Amino acid sequence: MTSYKQILVEAFLVLSLALISVPSNASKLVYNLKPQLIADGVYLLEGSTDHFNRKNGGNIVNTGFLVGPDGVIVIDTGPSLRYGSEMRAAIKAVTPKPIKSIIITHDHPDHYLGNQAFKDIPIMALPETIAVIKRDGDEVAEGMYRMVGDWMRGTEVVVPNQKAKNGEIVIGGRAISLIALDGHTSGDLVVFDKKSGVIFAGDLAFHKRTPTFPSATLNKWVKSLIKLKNIPFKIMVPGHGPIVTDSRAIDSTIDYIKWIDATLRAGVDSGADMNEMMATDIPAPYNQWGVSRDEFIRSITYLFPKMEAELLPRIDN
């Protein structure tokens, strides 16, 4: 199985020219995080829809926090110690209430490498996510260092120390529902705030940014998105891209997954190789999304060998 470290190193090589052109000066690196109030007591920190690079410092992710009567719930901590530290300062500027809990939605590095800034606070994730971070976290952090350089300085992996499970939980006086799903990764945790109707979908949903597939199981991902659609949310925060007030992010992510699946199957059936698959025309609206061509090429490298193994089994077996 391809490790996340290998995936990040591959991305680094693709982007190397762009990275080299950006000067590194750790003393001037600032994410300039600005919390957006999107509902009563619900704040969003919206990231870029670009690649990891030395301009954005890996800030391509949506994180957020909920302010309850007695404290704050943080959802994902970003790609680095620097991000987590700035996030904590941004929260303090909004409310003097203490941070009660950190919730990590899944095991991709832009969502949890800021944990170090919150290591004095309980950090919660699904058991599957905890296991992957324990196994791959150091390799993933190394890959991120290669990609964004000084933005990562001082960052060390802090593994979540509480196991999340399905159901309603009250943190800081605020009731939220935790929904355990999978498909984008082996463990995708969704956070639904019933009071405001805001749902944090993690990377199960993308909007105006091309989905990524390094850990994906396509049929499970679609099933999870269908379950999400049945939740009566008012605002959805996707893992990447702008928020929505309807099911657009779900629908477009499902459509893209199904298109990828059909495209790969057709390629295997026709005897195409990976280079031919990478040259496939990307139809609208997918070709208008952030990093569409680069993410499509990566998707082929992740998924096409698996599809060949599924559809073209060895005859001597």
Q: What is the DSSP annotation of 182-201?
A: -SSSS-EEEEEETTTTEEEE
Q: pTM for the complete prediction?
A: 0.91
Radius of gyration of the chain, Cα coordinates, nearest whole angstrom: 19
Angle at 33 between CA 70 and CA 186, to 5 degrees: 75
pLDDT tens digits, the chain, 317 residues: what are they?
445 555 554 554 444 434 443 444 555 899 999 999 999 999 999 999 999 999 999 999 999 999 999 999 999 999 999 999 999 999 999 999 999 999 999 999 999 999 999 999 999 999 999 999 999 999 999 999 999 999 999 999 999 999 999 999 999 999 999 999 999 999 999 999 999 999 999 999 999 999 999 999 999 999 999 999 999 999 999 999 999 999 999 999 999 999 999 999 999 999 999 999 999 999 999 999 999 999 999 999 999 999 999 998 777 76
Strand partners, 179: 190
User: How far from chain centre, in Å, is Cα 74?
Assistant: 15
> What architecture (CATH level 2) is domain 4-249?
4-Layer Sandwich (3.60)
Straight-line distance from the first to the last Cα atom of the chain, in angstroms, rounded to the nearest whole number: 21
Strand partners, 73: 66, 101
Ordered by start, the domain boundaries in the chain are 4-249
